[in-house]
Copies of this chain bind each other. A is one copy, B any other.
């Protein structure tokens, strides 16, 4: 029996032009595409040979169970097929790539990983700022507000690093998150929210930490969005009033409400 292979493919933030060339090549050769709901479904146009299976949340339904997704990948790979598992953003940042990789390794199935653009970087491009402007910081922390045990991240430890904070999955708990950060950072710390970063439906808010929870919510911003906090983000304030010549989107519209 010939064993196929699995490509864990990062679909980026939504704009299909932000896929890598390597991703496009893998899709062109795919027999099976397992499509995460956080990826732009238009991506299937790049996989003309493939049978497409949608996994992940649809509407109000529950997620496809992780174990089922893992079994599905293995079943097709063991038939000798090239399975492309499409994950929104960068596969190695959040999502459950770690668990999927471990399961596939245990099953002895070769896995190729194709990197991509995470929505935090697309958000920075939209704001026109470096995440690590060296006059302001010397690094950046990507963090999810959603802990596996439903606890809170240690916001004061994160603030103490002086790095720019890029928070994923934080909009549903933005008030608590801001209260915690306000006890560790100045109220005037620059903050931004970019919703649907890197898609045609992109929206953003820019202000300061003390206004973040109220104003971003009042502006109608919600999930999926990234929250960016730190002095480096403040650089955007110098040109955000001008028509911002930033981050062109050259793609067909898609259901951006589902793009991370």
Binding site for B on A (CB under 8 A): 5, 12, 15-22, 24-25, 90-99, 101-102, 105, 110-117, 121-122, 124-125, 128-136, 138-144, 147-148, 153-154, 157-158, 160-163, 198, 232, 235, 238-239, 245-248, 250
- In this complex, what residue of B is CB-closest to A5? B245
Asked whether B247 lies within 8 Å of A113 as measured between CB atoms, the reply is: yes
Bound together, the chains give a CA A163 to CA B22 distance in angstroms of 29
Of the A-B pairs whose beta carbons lie under 8 Å apart in the complex, a sample of 17, sorted by A's number, is A15-B22, A18-B20, A18-B115, A20-B21, A90-B121, A92-B125, A92-B132, A93-B130, A96-B130, A98-B133, A105-B238, A112-B245, A115-B122, A135-B148, A141-B141, A141-B142, A161-B161
Contact A134 B98 (CB under 8 A): yes
A186, chain B: closest CB distance, angstroms: 17
Residue contact A154 to B143, C-beta cutoff 8 Å = no
Task: Say how far A85's CB is from chain B's closest CB, in angstroms.
Answer: 13
Distance (whole angstroms) from the CB of A131 to the closest CB of chain B = 5
Q: Inside 8 A of A105's CB, which chain B residues have their CB?
A: 128, 238-239
Shortest Cβ distance from residue A207 to the other chain B in the assembled complex, whole angstroms? 19
CA distance A138 to B16 in the complex (A): 28
Report yes or no: A18 in contact with B24, Cβ–Cβ below 8 A: no
CA distance A128 to B99 in the complex (A): 11
CA distance in complex: A232, B92 (Å): 11
Q: Which of B101, B125, B158 interacts with A130 by CB under 8 Å? A: B101
CB-based contact B144/A141 at 8 Å:
no
B143, A125: Cβ atoms closer than 8 Å: no
| Residue among A92, A111, A154 having the largest count of chain B Cβ atoms under 10 Å | A92
Do A153 and B139 form a contact, CB below 8 Å, given A17-B22, A112-B246?
A: yes
Contact A142 B148 (CB under 8 A): no
- Measured between beta carbons, the chain B residues less than 8 angstroms from A16 are 21
Q: CB-nearest residue of chain B relative to A16? A: B21
CA–CA, A238 to B104, complex, Å? 12
Q: Which residues of B contact A163 (CB under 8 A)?
A: 141, 143, 158
